Amino acid sequence: MRKMFFLCVIGVLLMGTGCSSALEAQQAKRTEIVKASIKQTPSADSIIQHALGIGEVYPSVESLSKASSIIIQGVVIHRNTFQSEGIAYIKFTVKVTKALSGEIQVGETVSFITLLGFNTMKTSEKIILFGRYHPKDSLLSKDYYTSVGGFQGQFHIKGNRAKRITSHLSATDQKTFPPLEMKLSLLTTKIKKAKKTINKRPPVSTN
């Protein structure tokens, strides 16, 4: 089920069409096109792996925290779309209002890039993002981040509650990717506990 979901998403993102049983042959062809594009574009390989979280499901705040370079609370102040090697992306510029983890300061602006199909955040929205760091490359002339597992690492904030962005998923897929809705204070507490546990782990022996 998970594998089929990710294949469907890839087809939608790059070809702009849905995935259904009636289009299995077309879907297979689209998948081959995607694979070919990835082989030709190292940066696309990185983005797709991180944006989709192919083969990776993050069912909890703890798992998201462990996979993150930074975790921030902020506001989307700008967004724009662009293409690279025939693949459509969207860049979100986020102003940090609270640094929950990582080398980041309140007031900084950071860039998050994802595939256009994961256009789940709007300007002025308050969000929490679990991010992975990427040094500047052919996609962007400065350092940037991708959200862990695509939509899995994106949370909307409404009032005193936070919820993972899953409204674009089917009811079946929402069982695989739970919304993790909870009070904002509880979410931040879970993040701090998860990061504290990681920091306490002993170094891995190289012998």
Query: In this model, does residue 149 exceed pLDDT 60?
Result: yes
Fold of 61-198: OB fold (Dihydrolipoamide Acetyltransferase, E2P) (2.40.50)
Q: Which helix (H) or strand (E) holds 193?
A: helix 184-200
- The pLDDT score that the predictor gives to residue 64 is 96
Query: In this model, does residue 135 exceed pLDDT 70?
Result: yes
pTM over 0.85: no
- The pLDDT score that the predictor gives to residue 21 is 43
- The pLDDT score that the predictor gives to residue 23 is 37
Burial of 69 (0-12, 13-18, 19+ CB in 10 A): middle
DSSP string, 91-134: EEEEEEEEEEESS--TT-EEEEEEEGGG----TT-EEEEEEEEE
Residue ranges of the domains in the chain? Answer: 2-52, 61-198
Q: Mention every residue, 6+ apart, whose C-beta is less than 8 A from residue 203.
A: none
